[in-house]
């Protein structure tokens, strides 16, 4: 697997994954804004140059915020999410960040399990933070030192 910078040319592949794995996916505009804002936008590519995942991270002073991370459905549960997350942690360290934080839907068990297994712990809760079909859903704030 290769981690490389995301470009506008990747957006079709990225959006196909995003729409398949998220109930409330980011829009093309969200990704374009992230690229324009110089966030750390990375794609995870197989040897055959297929995009199998991606991550978007914002750097602020000494804190990195992981805004999005996803692995294509058919590639899930093979350790790729953990590897991609580890790459983002290493990148944040290289950029001299001291902490990584993120927000995750309270119902997103696989992501919460991934983050816990990578050393994140709960640091807060935002009640009714996310839209959910037919209502609202809490966000769990998680973080870890780098
Ligand atoms: C969250 C996500 C990136 C995990 O990717 P993945 O490649 O399947 O994860 P891995 O195979 O590396 O799993 C790493 C660990 O996470 C946990 N985990 C991952 N998927 C899980 C699931 N469905 N149920 C329970 N635990 C799970 C496990 O602890 C796992 O370790 P194990 O396989 O040794 O038990 C992937 O499920 C995904 O893309 N989900 C949709 C997008 C999303 O919700 N992103 C997070 C937004 S905050």
Of ligand 1's listed atoms, the one at least distance from the Cα of 115 is: 16
Rounded average pLDDT over 23-31: 95
Would you state the pLDDT for residue 138? 96
Distance CA 108, CA 104 (A): 7
Task: Answer whether residue 19 shows pLDDT above 90.
Answer: yes
Q: What is the mean pLDDT of residues 50-59?
A: 98
Q: Kindly state the percentage of the chain with pLDDT values over 70.
A: 100
Please, are residues 87 and 115 in contact by the beta-carbon 8 Å criterion?
A: no
State whether the beta carbon of 84 lies less than 6 angstroms from ligand 1. no
Decide: pTM greater than 0.85.
yes
Query: Which atom of ligand 1 lies nearest, measured to the CA of 113?
Result: 17
Is ligand 1 within 6 A of the CB of residue 82? yes
Kindly state if the Cβ of 46 falls inside 6 Å of ligand 1: no
Mutate to test the pocket of ligand 1, among 25, 87, 114, 119 (most ligand atoms within 8 A of CB): 114
Q: The tokens of 62 are what?
A: 């000494």
Query: CA-to-CA distance for 41 and 5, rounded, in angstroms?
Result: 6
Q: What is the predicted pLDDT for the residue at 133?
A: 83
Q: How far apart (Å, rounded) are the C-alpha atoms in residues 113 and 95?
A: 26
Domains of the chain: 2-145 (3.40.630.30)
User: What confidence tier does 15 reach under pLDDT thresholds 50, 70, 90?
Assistant: very high
**pLDDT tens digit string along 55-106?**
999 999 999 999 999 999 999 999 999 999 999 999 999 999 999 999 999 9
């Amino acid at each position: 697997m290769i981690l490389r910078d995301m470009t506008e040319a990747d957006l079709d592949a990225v959006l196909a994954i995003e729409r398949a794995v998220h109930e409330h996916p980011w829009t093309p505009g969200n990704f374009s804004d992230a690229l324009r804002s110089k966030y750390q936008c990375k794609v995870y590519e197989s040897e055959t140059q297929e995009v199998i995942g991606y991550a978007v991270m914002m750097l602020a002073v000494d804190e990195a915020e992981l805004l999005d991370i996803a692995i294509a459905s058919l590639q899930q549960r093979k350790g790729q999410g953990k590897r991609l997350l580890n790459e983002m942690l290493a990148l944040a360290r290289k950029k001299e960040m001291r902490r990584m934080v993120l927000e995750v839907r309270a119902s997103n068990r696989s992501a919460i399990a991934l983050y816990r297994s990578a050393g994140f712990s709960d640091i807060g809760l935002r009640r009714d933070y996310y839209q959910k079909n037919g209502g609202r859903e809490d966000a769990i704030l998680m973080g870890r030192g780098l």
